[in-house]
Amino acid sequence: MKFRLYHYWRSSSSWRVRWALAFKEIPCEFVPINLLSDETESPAHLARNPMGYVPVLEFLEQKTPYPFLCESVAILEWLEEVYPQPSLLPGDPFQKAKIRQLAETINSGTQPLQNLNAVQLHSSDPEEQKKWHQTWIKKGLHAYETLAQQTAGKFSVGDTLTMADLFLIPQCYNAKRQEVSLESFPTIQRIHENALKMESCRVSAPEAFQP
Amino acid sequence: MKFRLYHYWRSSSSWRVRWALAFKEIPCEFVPINLLSDETESPAHLARNPMGYVPVLEFLEQKTPYPFLCESVAILEWLEEVYPQPSLLPGDPFQKAKIRQLAETINSGTQPLQNLNAVQLHSSDPEEQKKWHQTWIKKGLHAYETLAQQTAGKFSVGDTLTMADLFLIPQCYNAKRQEVSLESFPTIQRIHENALKMESCRVSAPEAFQP
């Protein structure tokens, strides 16, 4: 085994990486970090990721004092570069840019505002927390829908799975948890249905890792 | 002229792209979008970016109904792919991953929580807004400092400018605006001093575009 992934079953950023590993058929050992406990602030985890977040990929055969790689985008781009087939970034540079544009609509435009830390600092009132979640999810998915209408086939860009879908589908899972319906997003709904049929999606989904 | 960049002088994400264009000596026309006005919600701007944000790069010679590219990461990766020299992502895949990890510590870990929309939805009280800003800037810069101590020379990764620095320095500019001192971050401080000596940094800085 070359890799160990520190992750949390319901973390959308963790799902992105689990999915890429499954899609590229890269063996990996999974170690859960409970985001609801103080495990994230333990010295052992902060040594892996000073932000205290997941996912973190550990390189078990790497002879370096720092064999950890944090941040899902950095991990996914590395996996794509070193294990290019099957590709999650197909096409010419302009198409790759459109894939990354969609991924970023979730990665920097939507998900960070749903981080547990941020939601809890915003308010301790569960109703106010839900309103906050819903505001950012709706804004993000509305933008994604508009952009994806320009590029989507069966998936976000064309008819094959790309990195963009790995950001979208876990965000849809969060939308459901926060009671945001996908009904007003027909393109996203179609992509969502097609993605859930894929084995690499199902074996990497939160349900498959629920404790 | 092949490109037009919609930007805002004080937007840190806009500075990242202006800096890359200057570093790679790519000519570009600049069109300001005032983030403090309702220009961001105008139909013309939403057609460029359904999130209403900047930067947006317009491809003036592209024969496509959608010649716009949003999201600084997608734009920077595209520029690096099509204009690889001078490189902002030098080294082997593992070093590139470390560069992207640092960039993401700011891109998804810090900056999104400082978006005007988010800060204003959190609170309308200026004191509370400043506390919010400071919390996330300190957390992000602390993580960046810890990670950069593992890789930095004159810059965040080694002795040459990389994509990571293009995320860090605009965030330092925001830190100053929010009265977060860089004193407890010696590595960041050193990188900051070295970066400010670069012409590509100075000509792309907010001061150079202040109306």
Taking only the tens place, the pLDDT of each residue in B12-26 is 999 999 999 999 999
B67-90 mean pLDDT = 98
Preceding omega of A86 cis (within 30 degrees of 0): yes
| A65 at interface of B, judged by CB pairs closer than 8 A | yes
Q: How many CA atoms lie within 13 A of B170 on its CB side?
A: 27
Helix, strand, coil distribution of chain A in percent, nearest 5: 55, 10, 35
Strands of the sheet containing A3-7, edge to edge, are: A29-32, A3-7, A56-59, A68-70
Furthest CA-CA distance within chain B? 50
What token pair was written down for B49? 């970016």
Most confident of A34-43, A63-72, A81-90: A81-90
B71: which chain A residues are within 8 Å (Cβ-Cβ)? Answer: 100-101, 104-105, 108-109
Phi, psi of B199 (to 5 degrees): -65, -40
B120-146 mean pLDDT = 98
| B75 at interface of A, judged by CB pairs closer than 8 A | yes
A112: which chain B residues are within 8 Å (Cβ-Cβ)? Answer: 108-109, 112-113
Q: Do A66 and B150 touch (CB under 8 A)?
A: yes
CA distance A79 to chain B (A): 9
| Residue A62 clears pLDDT 90, i.e. is over it | no
B50-75 mean pLDDT = 94
| Residue A124 clears pLDDT 90, i.e. is over it | yes
Q: Report pLDDT for A6.
A: 98
Q: From CA B204, how far away is CA B170, in angstroms rounded? A: 10
What Rg do the C-alpha atoms of chain A give, in angstroms? 17
Q: From CA B6, how far away is CA B14, in angstroms rounded? A: 8
Q: Report pLDDT for B45.
A: 97
Taking only the tens place, the pLDDT of each residue in A175-190 is 999 999 999 999 999 9
| Residue B114 clears pLDDT 90, i.e. is over it | yes
Q: Report pLDDT for A65.
A: 83
| B121 at interface of A, judged by CB pairs closer than 8 A | yes
Instruction: Out of B104, B122, B147, name the one closest to residue A50 (CB).
Output: B147
B91-113 mean pLDDT = 97
B136: which chain A residues are within 8 Å (Cβ-Cβ)? Answer: 118
Taking only the tens place, the pLDDT of each residue in A36-61 is 999 999 999 999 999 999 999 999 99
DSSP annotation of B54 = S
A62-90 mean pLDDT = 95
| Residue B1 clears pLDDT 80, i.e. is over it | no
Query: What stretch of H or E contains A58?
Result: strand A56-59
> Which residues in B175-185 are b (16+ Cβ under 10 Å) and which e?
beebebebeeb
CA distance A63 to chain B (A): 12
Q: Helix or strand or coil: residue B175?
A: helix
pTM: 0.98
Q: Report pLDDT for A30.
A: 98
As for the ipTM of the complex, it is 0.98
Q: Helix or strand or coil: residue A7?
A: strand
Amino acid, single-letter form, for residue A27: P
Taking only the tens place, the pLDDT of each residue in A146-171 is 999 999 999 999 999 999 999 999 99
| Residue B86 clears pLDDT 80, i.e. is over it | yes
B171-186 mean pLDDT = 97
Average pLDDT taken over every residue of chain A: 97
Distance between first and last Cα of chain B: 23
Nearest CA in chain B to A65: B150
Of chain A residues 22-51, which have a CB less than 8 A from chain B?
49-51
Instruction: Out of A105, A139, A140, name the one closest to residue B71 (CB).
Output: A105
Q: Do A107 and B50 touch (CB under 8 A)?
A: no
